[in-house]
Structure 1
C-alpha cells in the first residue's frame, strides 16, 4: 500500500518512491534496538511469521520453465480490467486444506466481488481444476467472461481447454506477486473464517456446501460497493 501510494503520488519523482522489498528489509533486517525487540514480541506479517521467508533460487528457475504461460502475462491483460470499470474480469486461486491433502477453487469477479467456489473431490491436477473452472464459468453469461487472472501454478497447465470451452482467456501474474490478484487474496482471507488454515479438510464439504458459503459471502454488504452486496451488483449486470 505504501509503495503504490508513493508511486501514484510522486509519479514524476522516482527519488521519492520505494519498493515494498526495501520497506521489508528496513523493518526486518536493518532495524535495531527497541524496534527490533518489539517486532520479536508480535506477529508483524499477515502470514503469521515474524520474519521474511527467503525465496529459493531453484524455485525461481523452475517457475521460469512454464511454457503454458507464453505471452499471457498479466501485463497483456486488457487495460479495462485494471480499473474495474468493465465487469467480467475474474481472479482465481486454489485454497489448500490441512496438510496439503485437499483444495478448492476460488473465483471472484473484480468489479462486483462476486464469489464462486468449486469442490475438487478428485485432486487438484490440471485436468481436475480446469474441469471445475469450466463448470463454474458456464454458470454466468458469456459477456461476463472477459478474462481470468491466476498465478503460475501447474494446475493451469491445460488452460487452453478452459479458454476454448468458455471463451475466457487466462492471464498469469508475476511470481510472488499476490497483490496482482488482490481481490482474490482478500476473498481467500474471508474464506478462512469458514475454513481455518492448516486445520480444515476440504474433503469434508461438497459442492452444495461450498455454494452455501459463497451465497453468504455474496449477500454480505460491502463498503467498497456502497453497502450493496456482490449478488445485487451481479444481478444488475445480468438483468435484461
Structure 2
C-alpha cells in the first residue's frame, strides 16, 4: 500500500481477506465469546533489534509447522533455534482462549514487551542514587561502587545495583544520576560506550637486559608471597618529565617515585634505592621492569638494596600487567602531554594514598592499604 496499491490488490497478493487487511492496517475491535471485546492493534513495520530475537519470518514458520502437527523439537530443527526457545515462544504468545498460535500477533506482543516505560532504579531510589553520586566524586568505578553496597547497607536489600545499571545511567545525558555527578564521572573520561581495542606495543631500547623474567622465582608468579614488585615510568610532554611507578604484586600497593630533575638511569636508580630503603625486609624480594634505558644502572640498585631486577621480554607489557593497570589509573591524575615535574613529592604521596584506599576486585573488594597491613607484622 505504501507503493500505491489498493487494499484489495494487496490482500490478493498476500493471500488474506480484505477485512484482515483493514484490521492489520487500522486495528479493529471484535466481539468475542461471553460478551468480551478484543481490540487488534494495527500491524506496523518493526525493526529487529538483534538476531538473538525471533523475527517475524521465524514466527510465521513456527506457526506453519505447529499447525502441521510437528513437535517442539522438530520445529526447532526446522527453524534453527533451541527447543526451549520454541516452547517458550508458543507458551507466551499463543491465544489464551483457543490455544492457537498467530505469528503476527506474537510479533506484536513481543515488541510491546520489549518497550520498557518504567524508570530505572537509580532514577526512583534517591538514597541509592545519592550514594552512587558520592562515590563517583571519589573517582570510584561503577563496579567498585556496586561491590561495596552489601557491606555498607547489609540490612537494606533494596540498596543494591549492578555496575551495568550505573554505566547505562551515566551514558544517558538526561538521567538524574548524571545531573549531580562530576562532569566526567568515569575515570576513563568517556561519555559514551567505546569498543575495546588493543593498544600499540611499546618499543624497547634496553641494550643489556640483565636477568630475564623467566629466571624470576616461581613464588612471584602466583602472588602468594608479598614483596615482589613491578615498576615502570609514565612520561610527560615530549618525554621530558616522568614519574616512577611501583606496585606490589600480592597486595597491589602502589608507590610513586618523585623524579623532579629527570629520569635518567642515575635518577631512577637513586629514587628506587630511596623507596626500597623505607620498606620492611619482608617486602623487598624482587623487582620486575621493562627494558627501558632508565634501568641502565639496575646493578647499582641491586647492590644497595639486595633486590634482584628481572626484565620482561621486548614488547611484552602483559608480563607486568599490574603495573600497566596502575599506569592507566594514574593518567587520570597525570594526563599525557602535561609537565610531570611540576608535581611535588607530597602530591604524589596523596595520589598514591587515594589509589591504595580504593576497593579492588582482584582483592575481593578489599583495599591495597588494608591488605598490606595484614601482611606486615610488628616484628617486621
Matched ranges for 1:30-69 at <5 A: 45-47=197-199, 63=206, 66-67=207-208, 69=209
- Matching residue of 2:130: none
Q: Deviations over 1:129-148 (max 9, x none)?
A: 00001111112101111100
Find out whether 1:91 has 2:230 as its counterpart: yes
- Matching residue of 1:74: 213
TM-score normalised by the chain length of structure 1: 0.73
Matched ranges for 1:175-186 at <5 A: 175-186=314-325
- Matching residue of 2:333: 194
Find out whether 1:173 has 2:325 as its counterpart: no
Q: Cα distance, 1:239 vs. partner?
A: 2.5
Q: Deviations over 1:168-201 (max 9, x none)?
A: 1000000110000000000001101111122x21
- Structure 2: any 5+ residue segments left out of the alignment? 1-193
Q: Cα distance, 1:44 vs. partner?
A: 5.1
Find out whether 1:105 has 2:257 as its counterpart: no
Of 142, 145, 155, 2:294 maps to 155
Q: Supply the distance in 2 between the matched residues of 1:91 and 1:44 (Cα, whole angstroms).
A: 25
Of 97, 116, 120, 2:255 maps to 116
Find out whether 1:229 has 2:367 as its counterpart: yes
Q: Supply the distance in 1 between the matched residues of 2:267 and 2:247 (Cα, whole angstroms).
A: 19
- Matching residue of 1:27: none
- Structure 1: any 5+ residue segments left out of the alignment? 1-41
Q: Is the 8 A contact 1:108 1:187 kept in 2?
A: yes
Q: Supply the distance in 1 between the matched residues of 2:246 and 2:343 (Cα, whole angstroms).
A: 17
Q: Cα distance, 1:220 vs. partner?
A: 0.7
Comparing both chains, which one has the higher relative contact order based on Cα–Cα distances under 8 Å and sequence gaps of 6 or more?
1
3-state SS of paired residue (2:233) = strand
- Matching residue of 1:164: 303
3-state SS of paired residue (1:117) = strand
Q: Cα distance, 1:96 vs. partner?
A: 0.5
- Matching residue of 1:208: 346
| Structure 1 residues 46 and 215: CA distance shift in structure 2, 3 A | farther
Q: Which has the larger radius of gyration?
A: 2
3-state SS of paired residue (2:230) = strand
Of the structure 1 ranges 137-146 and 171-180, higher mean CA displacement relative to structure 2 is found in 137-146
Give the length in aligned residue pairs: 185
Of the structure 1 ranges 156-165 and 109-118, higher mean CA displacement relative to structure 2 is found in 156-165
Q: Is the 8 A contact 2:249 2:322 kept in 1?
A: yes
Q: Supply the distance in 2 between the matched residues of 1:222 and 1:43 (Cα, whole angstroms).
A: 23
> In angstroms, what is the RMSD of aligned CA positions?
1.8
TM-score normalised by the chain length of structure 2: 0.47
